[in-house]
Chain A
Amino acid sequence: MNKIFLVLKREYTTRVKKKSFLLATILIPLIFPAVIFGIVYLGTNDGDSSKEVYVLDESGYFEDSFSNTGYTYTFLSSNLDEAKEKFQEDDVYGLIHIPEIDLDDASKTRYSDFSFYSKTNPGNQAMKDFEGEIKRKLEEVKLDRSGLDPTVINSLKVSVSLSSFNLSESGEAKESNTDLSSAVGYVFGFLIYMFIFIYGSQIMQSVLDEKTSRIVEVIVSSVRPFQLMMGKVLGVGAVGVTQLLIWIVLMFTLFSVGITTLGGGMEAMSGQMPAGVDMTQNQEMAANIQGMLDTIPVVQIVVSFLFYFLGAYFLYGALYAAIGSAVDSMQDAQQFMLPIMLPIIVGIISLTFVLQDPHSTMAVTLSMIPFTSPIVMMARLPFGVPTWQLLLSMAFLVLGFIGTIWVAGRVYRVGILMYGAKVNWKTIAKWFTMKV
C-alpha cells in the first residue's frame, strides 16, 4: 500500500509540476467560455449585419415593406433578366424576385413562383426570414382587403405551451424542463467522455514510457506490477480530479464575476432608462434560471457525476494501462484502441436517442452496462431516474472496474517485460492466462 502511494506520488507530482498542466488548467476555463460566447455571438449576429439584398417586386405590394433588420433591401425596377445581370455584377448577398400576383383570384396565384437568387447556397435561417417577410406582408394585404377586423383576428389566435411536471410518488408536482435537462445531461455525459479519452491516453503513454525507457524492470524488482499499475492509474486520476476541481472553482468564480458585473451594468443603465424595463427583465431572468435549476436534481447529479467520473476512469484507465504494457510504441497501440473506444463512442452516439426518450429500454440498458453507463446514466439523471436503477447501475460499474482492473493487471504484469513481441489479441489472451 505504501508503495502504491509512492508510485502515485511520483505520477502526480511530475505531472502537476509540468508547464503544460498549468497552462491547460488555467487556459481551458478561459478559452472554453470564450469559444462558446464567440459561437453564440456569431450565431446571433450572423456576421456582417448589413448584407445587401436586391428585391425585384413585380406585384407592387411590397414597396418598402421588407423590414428584417439583418439585411438592407434595395428595390429594383427592371425586368428579371436585367435584375439578374445587375445582381451578377454587384457585390450583394441575394436577389428576391416576386412575380406579378393576383391576390383576388386564388386560382391564378401561385405562391411557389417567388424565387431567391444567390451566389452561394443561402442558409436555412435566411430563407425562413425572407419567406416570413413575404408571408407577413401578403397576409396583411389580404386581411386588409377582406374587411375583417384585425382585433377579431388577433383575439382568435391562441398560443399554447406545454408545461411539463414530474409527479413524484408523494403526489408532489415539480416543474420539469426538458431542454435544460437535455443540455445538462449532454454536458455531463460529454465531460466523462473527454476525461476518459484524455487521461486514459496519459496512462497509456506513461506505461509505454516506462517500458521503452526500460526502467520498468528496475521498478518491478521493488514493487509488484499490480502496485505499479494501480499507483499509476490512481496518480493520473488524482491529476485529473485536481484539474477538474480547479476548473470548477475557476469557472464558478468567472461566472459569478461575470454575473455581478453584468448585473451592475444593467442597474447603471436602468437608472438612465425610463421605467427600468430591462431591470425587471433581468430579475425575471434570474428567477427563471433559479426556477429551472430547481427542476433538476442538482445534488444527485453532482454526487453521481463524481462517482461515474471516477468509475469510468478506473474502468477504462486500467484497460489503457494494459494496452500500454502490451505494445512497444504508440503506433502499435492504435489497433487495440478501437475496440476499447467503441463502447465509449456508442455511449456518445446513443446520447441523441437517450435524450429523446430517457426511459426507453435502450436508454435503461445502456445505463446499466458498465462500459456505457457513466455517459448514458449521466445523461439520464437530469430527467429523474428511479433510485433502484441508479444504485444497480453503480453496483455494476463497481463490479465492472474491479473486473477490468483484474484483467488489465494480468496482462500488464506480462506485457511490461515483453519486448519486440508481435502482439495481437491472441497473444494478449495468452498473457492473461499465463502463470507468472
Chain B
Amino acid sequence: MNILEANHISKSYAEHRALNDVSISIPKQSIFGLLGPNGAGKTTLIRIINQIIMADEGEVLINGEKLNPRHVEIIGYLPEERGLYKKMKVGEQLMYLAQLKGMSKSEAKTKIKKWLDKLSLTEWAGQKVEDLSKGMAQKIQFIATVIHEPQLLILDEPFSGFDPVNANLIKDEILELRDKGATIIFSTHRMESVEQLCEHIAMINKSEKILDGTKKEIKNSFRSDKYKVEYKGDFSGLGAEYELLDTKHLEDGFYEAIIQSKNGHNPNHLLSQLIAKTEVHSFVEVIPSVNDIFISIVEGGNKR
C-alpha cells in the first residue's frame, strides 16, 4: 500500500517549467529520498503535496484518496527555510502550530510536554524563541513538525543547521517515528544522509524525474563490474577478459588497482586469476555511492 502517489505532475511558473510529468509512489512506513540538485523542482513537488501550491496537471493521492484540505492534518512538513515566531514563547508557539494542524488543546498540551521532556527542553517552555540558541530553536521546529503525529513526514534538508550531536538525535527520532508507522520523505542534495537512511530513492533533475526505485535496485543497476584490489607484488597479463584501469603503487611493494571485468564472470573468476599471479590483500567490488550516481547523472546528463 502506498501512502502517497503522485501521478504525472506538471507545474509551470510563468515561462519556467518547474516540474514536468513527474510521478512517484511512496510505500507506507518507508524512508523515501527525494534527491536532486538545487533548483531541480524538489521544493515545488513538496509544496504541491503540502497543498501550498496546486499542480497544473496530474493528481496526488494520499492513502488512495485525492489530496484534500483534511490531509494537512496527517502531514508534517519541515521546510528548508526554517522559522518560528521570535517573540512568541516556546510553549504557546507549539500550541498554536499544533492547533493549526487540527489538534485539540488538551491533546496538544500532553504532546508538547512529552516532546519537550524527550528533547530536554522543558525548562525553556516559557522562554521566547529569540532567547534560544539556534540548535534549540531547530529542535523546537522539529517538535512543531511532528507534534500531531503525522502519517507522512516531509523533511526538506532536515539536517542542515544541526550540529552533529543534534543531527544524530534527530535522526534517531526520525527512525523511531518510522518504526511507529510514519512514512518519511527526505528531500536533499546531500547524499550521505540518504545513503544511510533511505530505502527508496527518486531523483529529480531539471524538472524531470530521472531515477526511481529502491536504493538497492538503483545501486545494482549502476554496478559496472569494477573491482578494487590491493595486492603485494606486481603482475601482468590478466588476459582480454579484464582490463587494468588504474594502478597505484602504495608502499612496501603494495599496489592498488581498479580492474574492469568485461565478460560478466562472477568475482570468483577474477579472484582465482589474481591469486595465481599475486598476493591478494583485499578484494572489493566497486559499488557506486548514491553520491557518485547522482553526480554521474547530473553531470553527464546520463539518462538511462
The reply to whether A213 and B77 form a contact with Cβ atoms under 8 Å apart is: no
Chain A residue numbers with a CB within 8 Å of B50 are 221
The reply to whether B52 and A220 form a contact with Cβ atoms under 8 Å apart is: yes
Give A215-244 as 1s and 0s: 1 = Cβ < 8 Å from B's Cβ atoms. Answer: 111111111100000000000000000000
In the docked arrangement, what's the CA distance between A202 and B162, Å? 34
Check if A14 is an interface residue, CB within 8 A of chain B: yes
Which one of A214, A222, A430 lies within 8 Å of B82 (CB-CB)? A214
The reply to whether B84 and A222 form a contact with Cβ atoms under 8 Å apart is: no
In the docked arrangement, what's the CA distance between A223 and B52, Å? 9
In the docked arrangement, what's the CA distance between A53 and B245, Å? 112
Chain B's closest residue to A430 (CB) is B14
Given A213-B83, A214-B81, A216-B83, decide whether A221 and B72 contact each other with a Cβ distance below 8 A: yes
Given A6-B96, A10-B96, decide whether A221 and B52 contact each other with a Cβ distance below 8 A: yes
The reply to whether B79 and A214 form a contact with Cβ atoms under 8 Å apart is: yes
Closest Cβ of chain A to B15, distance in Å, is 11
Chain A residue numbers with a CB within 8 Å of B14 are 430, 434
In the docked arrangement, what's the CA distance between A209 and B50, Å? 22
Count residues of chain B with CB under 8 A from any CB of chain A: 31
The reply to whether B52 and A417 form a contact with Cβ atoms under 8 Å apart is: yes
The reply to whether A434 and B97 form a contact with Cβ atoms under 8 Å apart is: no
Chain A residue numbers with a CB within 8 Å of B144 are 218
Which residues 1-53 of B sit at the A interface, judged by CB distance below 8 A?
13-14, 47, 50-53
The reply to whether B77 and A218 form a contact with Cβ atoms under 8 Å apart is: yes
The reply to whether B83 and A222 form a contact with Cβ atoms under 8 Å apart is: no
Chain A residue numbers with a CB within 8 Å of B284 are none
In the docked arrangement, what's the CA distance between A430 and B15, Å? 12
Chain A residue numbers with a CB within 8 Å of B85 are 14, 209-210, 213, 215
Chain A's closest residue to B51 (CB) is A221
Give B150-182 as 1s and 0s: 1 = Cβ < 8 Å from A's Cβ atoms. Answer: 000000000000000000000000000000000
Most A Cβ at <10 Å: residue of B14, B52, B69, B144:
B52
Give A405-436 as 1s and 0s: 1 = Cβ < 8 Å from B's Cβ atoms. Answer: 00000000000010100000000001000111
Closest Cβ of chain B to A166, distance in Å, is 53
In the docked arrangement, what's the CA distance between A223 and B99, Å? 11
Chain A residue numbers with a CB within 8 Å of B99 are 6
In the docked arrangement, what's the CA distance between A219 and B82, Å? 11
Chain B residue numbers with a CB within 8 Å of A220 are 52
Chain B residue numbers with a CB within 8 Å of A434 are 13-14
Closest Cβ of chain A to B120, distance in Å, is 23
Dominant secondary structure of chain B at its interface with chain A: loop
Count residues of chain A with CB under 8 A from any CB of chain B: 25
In the docked arrangement, what's the CA distance between A132 and B88, Å? 66
In the docked arrangement, what's the CA distance between A70 and B14, Å? 74
Chain B residue numbers with a CB within 8 Å of A136 are none
Check if A142 is an interface residue, CB within 8 A of chain B: no
Chain B residue numbers with a CB within 8 Å of A119 are none
Chain A's closest residue to B12 (CB) is A435
Given A214-B81, A214-B82, A435-B54, decide whether A14 and B100 contact each other with a Cβ distance below 8 A: no
Chain B's closest residue to A14 (CB) is B88
The reply to whether A213 and B100 form a contact with Cβ atoms under 8 Å apart is: no
In the docked arrangement, what's the CA distance between A341 and B141, Å? 38
Given A217-B52, A217-B81, A417-B52, decide whether A222 and B101 contact each other with a Cβ distance below 8 A: yes
Which one of B47, B79, B87 lies within 8 Å of A218 (CB-CB)? B79
In the docked arrangement, what's the CA distance between A426 and B79, Å? 29
Which residues 78-96 of B sit at the A interface, judged by CB distance below 8 A?
78-79, 81-88, 96
Check if B117 is an interface residue, CB within 8 A of chain A: no
Chain B residue numbers with a CB within 8 Å of A7 are 100
The reply to whether B81 and A222 form a contact with Cβ atoms under 8 Å apart is: no
In the docked arrangement, what's the CA distance between A209 and B87, Å? 10
In the docked arrangement, what's the CA distance between A193 and B79, Å? 40
In the docked arrangement, what's the CA distance between A14 and B101, Å? 20
Check if B75 is an interface residue, CB within 8 A of chain A: yes
Check if B107 is an interface residue, CB within 8 A of chain A: no
The reply to whether A222 and B86 form a contact with Cβ atoms under 8 Å apart is: no
Check if B195 is an interface residue, CB within 8 A of chain A: no
Check if B234 is an interface residue, CB within 8 A of chain A: no
Give A1-38 as 1s and 0s: 1 = Cβ < 8 Å from B's Cβ atoms. Answer: 00100110010001000000000000000000000000
Check if B56 is an interface residue, CB within 8 A of chain A: yes
Chain B residue numbers with a CB within 8 Å of A210 are 85
The reply to whether A222 and B100 form a contact with Cβ atoms under 8 Å apart is: yes
In the docked arrangement, what's the CA distance between A10 and B85, Å? 11
Give A152-182 as 1s and 0s: 1 = Cβ < 8 Å from B's Cβ atoms. Answer: 0000000000000000000000000000000
The reply to whether A436 and B54 form a contact with Cβ atoms under 8 Å apart is: yes
In the docked arrangement, what's the CA distance between A213 and B51, Å? 21
In the docked arrangement, what's the CA distance between A10 and B100, Å? 11
Given A14-B88, A215-B83, decide whether A6 and B52 contact each other with a Cβ distance below 8 A: no
Chain A's closest residue to B100 (CB) is A222
In the docked arrangement, what's the CA distance between A35 and B153, Å? 58
In the docked arrangement, what's the CA distance between A210 and B77, Å? 17
Chain A residue numbers with a CB within 8 Å of B56 are 435
The reply to whether A218 and B83 form a contact with Cβ atoms under 8 Å apart is: yes
In the docked arrangement, what's the CA distance between A221 and B50, Å? 6
Chain A's closest residue to B13 (CB) is A434
Chain B residue numbers with a CB within 8 Å of A217 are 52, 77, 79, 81, 83
Closest Cβ of chain B to A178, distance in Å, is 49
Chain B residue numbers with a CB within 8 Å of A223 are 100
The reply to whether A3 and B100 form a contact with Cβ atoms under 8 Å apart is: yes
Closest Cβ of chain B to A1, distance in Å, is 12
In the docked arrangement, what's the CA distance between A419 and B79, Å? 14
In the docked arrangement, what's the CA distance between A150 and B83, Å? 87
The reply to whether A218 and B52 form a contact with Cβ atoms under 8 Å apart is: no
The reply to whether B84 and A14 form a contact with Cβ atoms under 8 Å apart is: no
In the docked arrangement, what's the CA distance between A7 and B96, Å? 8
Chain B residue numbers with a CB within 8 Å of A6 are 96, 99-100
Which A residues lie at the B interface, using CB under 8 A?
Answer: 3, 6-7, 10, 14, 209-210, 213-224, 417, 419, 430, 434-436
List 6 additional contacts besides A7-B100, A221-B50, A222-B72; criterion CB under 8 Å.
Answer: A3-B100, A14-B87, A221-B51, A222-B97, A222-B100, A435-B56
The 9 closest A-B pairs by CB, nearest first: A214-B83, A215-B83, A222-B100, A217-B79, A214-B81, A213-B83, A221-B50, A221-B77, A220-B52
List 9 contacting pairs A-B, 8 Å CB cutoff, sorted by A.
A7-B100, A213-B84, A214-B79, A214-B82, A218-B144, A219-B100, A221-B75, A222-B100, A224-B69
